[in-house]
């Protein structure tokens, strides 16, 4: 209910209340209005006292001292603010320079590592290519040597076969002699047969010739069978020798390729380990440098924090000085008002009690603005710390 009545009073601020509205005012509101009226008269008396103090010698000296103190405070605030700005600019410049230096060092280290890595890769590729070319040349030479050995083995086998053939040459010569003899015998038999056909004793001669031919045919079959056996034996020996030589050749090639692959793998592994060791050493060195740079950055951050703390302490000391100045001004103003009640109230000094809701809002707004605007803080004097 008090709130509703107060809203009606504030809404009717510029219009006088009617008698019915006055009769409806609550006793508490009536007491509030009485207190506000008394405060208004006290304020009027304070303004009169202040006017008289401004015209008197004592009041002028007090106000002049206050003005001088305010000027000193303003100059000191400007000096402190300028000092803070200079410190902030110096810190920002140092941090920017350090960041730039660290970035340049990081870029230089990165480019150096990349160049080293590229050089290592190019060197490794060149060595790998040369090693591969060397292995291929060795492989080709060894292959040619093995082919030469294989051909020599084959020629040796051919010679051995020829010797074996020469070893059976008497049998073949005997066979050929028999064949020639058989041919001549056959030819003679044909002549005898022809002659027998023309004589009377031809029947007995033909029977003997037929028996002789059968014996010759049986002997020829036996000789041919023996020749086939000898030929099969020679071919089997040649096939076994070729198979043995081929197996030896394949085993030798496999062993050679295995040894070449193993040696190549060992060389590449050694080169890889050497390159890795070199890169790890360079990385350790770069890590140490980065650690030093990190320590420098942390030291700069700590220095920045220390400077910030010192600036905050200095600002707090200045706030204490300003608040003490405000309390001194308020005390002097209260003394002046107590000595001269007719002096007017200073509009830049926060009153101890507020006459109206408008004054309350006004000083609350000034207090909030003073937190952000130093000019308002210089212009107005507050009873409590801002």
Closest CA to 2 of 232, 220, 279, 10: 10
pTM score above 0.75: no
Coil vs helix vs strand at 47: helix
Burial of 261 per CB tally in 10 Å (0-12, 13-18, 19+): exposed
Find tokens 């001549």 and name the residue.
184
**Helix ranges (DSSP H) in 168-201:** 169-198
What's residue 73's pLDDT?
72
Residue 48 pairs in a beta bridge with 343
With a cut of 50, which residues of the chain have pLDDT below it? 1-3, 56, 59, 200, 202
What's residue 353's pLDDT?
79
Nearest 5 degrees, angle CA 268-CA 270-CA 271? 65
Find tokens 């709130």 and name the residue.
3
Backbone angles phi, psi at 77, to 5 degrees: -65, -40
CA 11 and chain centroid, separation: 69
What's residue 339's pLDDT?
78
Closest CA to 42 of 372, 356, 340, 313: 340
pLDDT digits (tens, 9 = 90+) for 248-263: 888 888 888 888 778 8
Backbone angles phi, psi at 343, to 5 degrees: -70, 145
pLDDT digits (tens, 9 = 90+) for 288-312: 888 888 888 888 889 889 998 988 8
Residue spans per domain, the chain: 28-346
Coil vs helix vs strand at 56: coil
58 CB neighbour count, 10 Å cutoff: 10
What's residue 65's pLDDT?
64
């Amino acid at each position: 209910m008090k709130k509703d009545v107060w809203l009606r009073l504030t809404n009717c601020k510029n219009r006088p209340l009617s008698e019915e509205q006055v009769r409806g005012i609550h006793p508490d509101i009536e007491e509030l209005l009485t207190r506000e009226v008394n405060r208004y008269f006290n304020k009027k008396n304070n303004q009169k006292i202040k006017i008289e103090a401004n015209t008197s010698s004592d009041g002028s000296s007090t106000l002049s001292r206050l003005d001088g103190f305010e000027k000193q405070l303003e100059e000191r605030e400007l000096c402190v603010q300028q000092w803070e700005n200079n410190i902030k600019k110096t810190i920002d410049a140092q941090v920017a320079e350090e960041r730039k230096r660290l970035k340049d060092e990081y870029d230089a280290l990165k480019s150096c590592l990349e160049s080293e890595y590229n050089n290592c890769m190019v060197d490794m590729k060149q060595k790998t290519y040369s090693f591969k070319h060397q292995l291929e040349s060795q492989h080709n030479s060894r292959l040619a040597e093995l082919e030469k050995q294989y051909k020599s083995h084959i020629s040796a086998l051919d010679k051995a076969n020829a010797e074996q053939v020469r070893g059976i040459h008497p049998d073949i010569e005997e066979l050929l002699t028999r064949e020639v003899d058989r041919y001549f015998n056959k030819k003679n038999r044909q002549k005898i047969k022809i002659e027998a056909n023309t004589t009377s004793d031809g029947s007995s001669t033909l029977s003997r010739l037929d028996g002789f031919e059968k014996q010759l045919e049986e002997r020829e079959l036996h000789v041919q069978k023996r020749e086939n056996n000898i030929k099969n034996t020679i071919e089997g020996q040649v096939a076994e020798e070729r198979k043995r030589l081929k197996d030896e050749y394949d085993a030798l090639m496999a062993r050679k390729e295995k040894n070449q692959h193993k040696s190549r793998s060992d060389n590449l592994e050694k080169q890889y380990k050497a390159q890795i060791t070199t890169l790890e050493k360079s990385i350790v060195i770069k890590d140490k440098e980065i650690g030093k740079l990190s320590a420098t950055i942390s030291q700069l951050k700590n220095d920045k924090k220390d400077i910030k703390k010192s600036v905050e302490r200095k600002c707090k000391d200045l706030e204490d000085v300003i608040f003490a100045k405000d309390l001194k001004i308020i005390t002097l103003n209260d003394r002046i008002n107590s000595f001269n009640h007719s002096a007017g109230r200073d509009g830049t000094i926060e009153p101890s009690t507020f006459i109206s809701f408008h004054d309350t809002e006004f000083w609350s707004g000034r207090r909030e603005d003073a937190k952000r605007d130093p000019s308002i803080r210089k212009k107005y004097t507050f009873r409590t710390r801002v």
